[in-house]
Structure 1
Amino acid sequence: MRMPSPLLLPPLLLALLAAGCATRAPQPSGDPAPAPRPAGGWPDKDGPDAVIPPDLHKVPDAQPRLEPIRKGGPNKPYEVLGQRYEPMTEDRPLVERGLASWYGRKFHGRPTSTGEVYNMYAMSAAHPTMPLPSYARVRNPKNGREVIVRVNDRGPFHKGRVIDLSYTAALKLDLLRGVAPVEVERITYEDIRTGAWMRGGTPADATVLSAAEPAPLFVPGAAAGAPEQTSTALLRNPPAATPAPTPTPPPAPAPSLAAGAQTDPAALLAGGSSSGGGESTARTDAKIAPGFWLQLGAYARLDGAETMRRQVLERLDSLAPLLAVVRDKGLHRLQAGPYASRDDARQAAERLRLELALTPLVVERR
């Protein structure tokens, strides 16, 4: 084979180099290192993981349960990107319409605002002002799909967006392509207590908000704050483990904690905190959801049960969302619940026994 003349190589190489320089795209300088993520997160690019687990559409929705709203912490007013937010601190219904986005691998495995670890494959969400933790129903009006998520984080922080979903929640709603309009409804304690959350529907007294200035589409959703779930298991103390004695009307004065109860709650919460939780009104003769409950006492008169409730809450205000006064077989029974299983109820009863020196009674309602 004939070799090219060495005299031709330099011009040829020069020509090739020149052509390469003319067509080569500029080398990117590289993005600066991201700023430390503040509590609640910065709106920034995000995306799915490199390997997605199969059958995520089969992941069950979050199961609403009564959890106390944290005082302070993630429910204190805060400011992000110059915008001030005032989180709700009470159990109130809330309905919003606006845009939903989702966040994924960027925050997967990172601590949330409440110290929990974000799992993009769980059914969770972030909301800028909903009390934490909360449960919410999210509906995609375009296809009618809806899911229930546990709200445990702060975000999103884009105008027009009302909720930031986990990857799996967005997948089940068919929202992975970007942000889209949704309807968000907070599930209240009453909804959980009565089982109304399983039927859906918007409460008549709900605050309905519509996000202003919808943001342009953004793929794949802005990152909200790290999910912060404070899964605080509430204690429930069901004394009345043995059948209630023949009821005798308690004296008009405020009965003691032991009045009408089957166990001696004299040592009830010796070191508990008093935060005025007793001022809230217990649900009386409300529709009681099926499940396992812990009975605190049985009283011939309603004021006996109410007084017991107030005294319990003075020492353990986290029980407030769980307590209900139920009239059954001629007695007013102070109960806390419901729990999803007997084991859950027994675990709560054991915690109550250790903390309050009570022997709770587990009651099943069908």
Structure 2
Amino acid sequence: MRQPPDPSDTSNRRLWLAYAGLCLLSWMLYAMAGAELQRGLWQLWAAAYQATLSLGPAMLLGPLVWPWVAWLERRGEHSATTAQPLWLLLHGLGALSFAAAWQLLEFALARSLFGAMHAGAMFEQTVLWRAIWGVFVYIALACGFTAVLHARRARRSALAAAQAESALARAELAAISGKLNPHFLFNTLNSLIALTRKDAKAAEAALLRFSGMLRYVLDSKRGADTRVSLAEELEFVRDYLALESLRLGERLTVRWEVEPETLQDEIPPLSLQPLVENCVQHGVAPRAQGGSVRIAARRDALNEGLALTVQDDGPGCDPALLDATPAPGARRGIGLSALRRRFALDYEGRARLKIHSAPGAGFRVDLWIPQA
């Protein structure tokens, strides 16, 4: 099986490509400056040769600074009490070593090309300036490599924080989904118990419906990011309403206004059933004359999202009570706050849930779920 690429390999490749690009740019600027100053005396190849001889050793030694700086950074990470003077001393030794290595490499190159006498004379003329330049080049390389290491460390920390936040959000989302299911199961089992005392055959049919509903609930627990088609969710809601109809009889009226083109849209499982249960439990069941539940689904023409509505014609409630913590005794929507939080986590705030109600005007919940 092919292994995925290591992010560190990609980062190192980019680092050395950038290093090679800077070296090439420095070499070209040095060569152009030499050719300009010596116009008419040197040919272009002579300027290129001088640039190579002057900068080549430093460019070859530059990559050796990387493991040294990385070691110092790791030492600083693992030793929080490392003294600043010791850190500066180690970098000072690194700078002197880099300058000495530059001198030796340039001397060896000059000796191989022009002989020992020429190499010795060049060494005597340039030893001081090469040492100074060696220290400055080391400082530039050390600062650049240290900045790269710090950026990588900050990126790793940010990635770890993002992963931890994502894991926390998924755990919270799974917990929210789990809070919806037991409430539904509790009410459904109560309905079945009441039905077995009235009609055994109807209870048998209801148990078959309930088995299908239970399978749906168990399947929907596969993951917090599970999606189901609207058709599956509506079939689940139909089974639930069929059970409630056996208990409530003609007191329960259901109005379906579902556009066929929305049936294959995807939604989180158990998004509609808690809202329908809320309408039945608070808007229909407590009233002697019963009531109606309206379930609508349509395509939003403006943004191609899925617009859902669950509404009852019950007594409604005061809009002032539609907050996160309603007063004791006020109508509490089943799973409304959990659904709101669920959509906020699952769709990063893009999904919307709005509640509309007033005394005597029923209770309506509008959902908008993005489909892209």
Instruction: Report if TM-score (shorter chain) is over 0.5.
Output: no
TM-score by length of 1: 0.23
Q: Flag the structure with larger Rg.
A: 2
Structure in which a larger fraction of residues adopt strand: 1
